[in-house]
Structure 1
Amino acid sequence: MTTTSDATLPVLGAALTLDHLPGLLDWVMEHDRDLELQDFVDVALLTGDTSPTVARYRDLLAGHKGRIGIHGPFWDLPIAASDPDIRAVVQSRFLQALDGGEALGATHMVIHSPFTNWSHHNMPADRDGRSRIIDCAHKTLAPVVARAEAIGCTLVIENIEDREPDDRIALARSFDSDQVRVSLDTGHAHYAHVSTGGRPVDYHVRAAGSLLAHVHVQDVDGYADRHWAPGDGTIRWAPVFREIAKSCENPRLILELLDPNDIPRGAQHLVDLGVAI
């Protein structure tokens, strides 16, 4: 249980699959930590029978009171494709994932931003570049947003290759829906800051403000997308968490690590810094 002394600190959650949840279940249940279930990125699962996966999660998480979400499929699934046939495939996969999410009671689904470092440099030279990306994303996501609204699941748009946060924030706002908000991956942002000259991680938090609903917490060295435990890379965590406390209310703070067995160690690093529990 949370004590009086740490009641104001945010509670860390985790991104896990069925393979790793049992080994971390005690850690999850200790503080009813938010979860992001990542099995639903697998197209083989989405096009098959998801009910055994859902049933197993329900059994494992009986009595869990934290928030549950899923990571949506993303491999080869651009949300701003101009080809209507490709858009149809993307829509189908996202809707299949939301079906699984609904069965689990999921209240968030991560989808990936369409903006890249290339688009950052080239959109200013193309008068219609930004609006075209946003228009294509709307054509792809219209039925997905409608479904998310119907089941109370928030789509959170995660920075992937984004150099700056503003385009993704504008995209989220353009839907004018409470069920479309922004996700921040700390490692992706720090990579973009070090390797491409983007803004530092805490600036991403400030830019999104109350629109920030979800954070993938992972550490990197600025050269690649490492998904290391906090403390293993070069992100300055105290300023990031100070900005989270000032800028947004109760975002899901999801440790998304290359090795899920490192989650307790990474969480402890942040606990020792006094920024989370």
Structure 2
Amino acid sequence: MTGYLPVVGAAMSITEYDQHRDWILEKQRDLELQDFITADVLNGNWEHLAEEVLAKLDGYTGRLGIHGPFWNLDISAADPEIRQIVQKRLDQGLDVCRKLKATHMVVHSPYTTWDQHNLDQYDQGHSFKLQCIQENLGAVVAKAEDIGCTLMIENIEDVDPSIRVELVKSFNSNAIAVSLDTGHAYYAHGSTGAPPVDYYVKAAGPLLQHVHLQDADGYADRHWAIGDGTLQWPALFNALQKYTNHPRLILELANNANLPKSMRYLSEQGLAQ
């Protein structure tokens, strides 16, 4: 494979950072922190944790982001009381981003397998769901704009690669973009009839700004080391080569002890560095 050789980063907790610090700083790799996901942390003394993070990240100048809160948070919620919780958690996540000067926050897509098979049977099925998303995220996107952060909308059950693209376009804002999780897309391809993973890249095009890299078997959300599954990595990276926006490429593994193994595979295949 020829052309631009992307630099790969990783997702981890700050407690793992010391172990991988030299590798991260070597190329100022993209870094995504996983410490600010739960309600316990966000409702607690997260500012103290953020100060610890900033101290540990002294010398890091790469692109920093966080995985936003997601447990039980449906960004298409119609119930006004549930919306209050969804908006509160995402607002708290952006407070963390402002403190850390993080420039991305991952948010989970609300589109389910049920949606894929049922929204079209209702005259206003798609438009009502999109309206709910816009009402839930309107103030969140505005705040993200103010602090220079981008909401990365990650596929979870999404069968249609274009559905999050339309979601992102509907906001007409640089503060919201498309994220791709390779293992989620591969699960959807193998188990729910979605197209291959590289099609998700092509559907998003330049709106794709963030990718979680994980290997899998097409049956479940494995988060295996790259090369341990059956995902077609050359097809994915060839699709990425067609665009010049250079999305954040972030290894999101179940066990970060497998980061070196994953990088060896990507390097030996001439896909990334």
User: Shorter-normalised TM-score: what interval?
Assistant: over 0.9
**8 Å contact from structure 1 (residues 221, 234) kept in 2:** yes
Paired residue for 1:72?
68
Task: Identify which of 161, 178, 181 aligns with 1:182.
Answer: 178
Cα distance, 1:8 vs. partner? 3.1
Task: Identify which of 227, 237, 258 aligns with 1:231.
Answer: 227
Paired residue for 1:145?
141
SS class of match (1:139)? helix
Pair 1:82 & 2:78 matched: yes
2: CA distance, partners of 1:229 / 1:178: 32
Cα distance, 1:7 vs. partner? 9.1
Paired residue for 1:106?
102
1: CA distance, partners of 2:164 / 2:71: 19
**8 Å contact from structure 2 (residues 212, 250) kept in 1:** yes
Task: Identify which of 153, 158, 161 aligns with 1:162.
Answer: 158
**8 Å contact from structure 1 (residues 36, 254) kept in 2:** yes
**8 Å contact from structure 1 (residues 211, 248) kept in 2:** no
Letter in structure 2 aligned against 1:151: I
Matches within 5 A, 1:266-277: 266-277=262-273
SS class of match (2:9)? strand
2: CA distance, partners of 1:51 / 1:87: 24
2: CA distance, partners of 1:103 / 1:168: 28
Letter in structure 2 aligned against 1:170: E
**8 Å contact from structure 1 (residues 212, 248) kept in 2:** no
Cα distance, 1:247 vs. partner? 2.9
Pair 1:134 & 2:138 matched: no
**8 Å contact from structure 2 (residues 191, 218) kept in 1:** yes
Paired residue for 2:55?
59
SS class of match (1:8)? coil
Paired residue for 1:10?
6
Residues 206-227 of structure 1, C-alpha deviation per residue, up to 9 Å, x if partnerless? 0100000000000100111000
**8 Å contact from structure 1 (residues 205, 247) kept in 2:** no
Paired residue for 2:211?
215
SS class of match (1:149)? helix
Matches within 5 A, 1:37-48: 37-48=33-44
2: CA distance, partners of 1:45 / 1:250: 32
Residue identity over aligned pairs, in percent, reads 51
Task: Identify which of 92, 110, 117 aligns with 1:96.
Answer: 92
Cα distance, 1:99 vs. partner? 0.4
Task: Identify which of 202, 222, 246 aligns with 1:250.
Answer: 246
Letter in structure 2 aligned against 1:111: V
**8 Å contact from structure 1 (residues 209, 248) kept in 2:** no
Letter in structure 1 aligned against 2:272: A
Paired residue for 2:167?
171
Structure 1 runs, 4 residues or longer, greater than 4 Å off = none
**8 Å contact from structure 1 (residues 255, 263) kept in 2:** yes
Paired residue for 1:3?
none
**8 Å contact from structure 1 (residues 157, 168) kept in 2:** yes
CA separation of 1:260/1:174 partners in 2, compared to 1, >3 Å: closer, same or farther? same
Residues 219-274 of structure 1, C-alpha deviation per residue, up to 9 Å, x if partnerless? 10011100001101111111101111113511000100111111121122111110
Paired residue for 2:121?
125
Cα distance, 1:40 vs. partner? 1.0
Residues 180-202 of structure 1, C-alpha deviation per residue, up to 9 Å, x if partnerless? 11000000001111111101011
Pair 1:202 & 2:234 matched: no
- TM-score after normalising by structure 2: 0.97
SS class of match (1:39)? coil
1: CA distance, partners of 2:238 / 2:60: 28
1: CA distance, partners of 2:50 / 2:165: 32
Cα distance, 1:51 vs. partner? 2.0
1: CA distance, partners of 2:243 / 2:117: 28
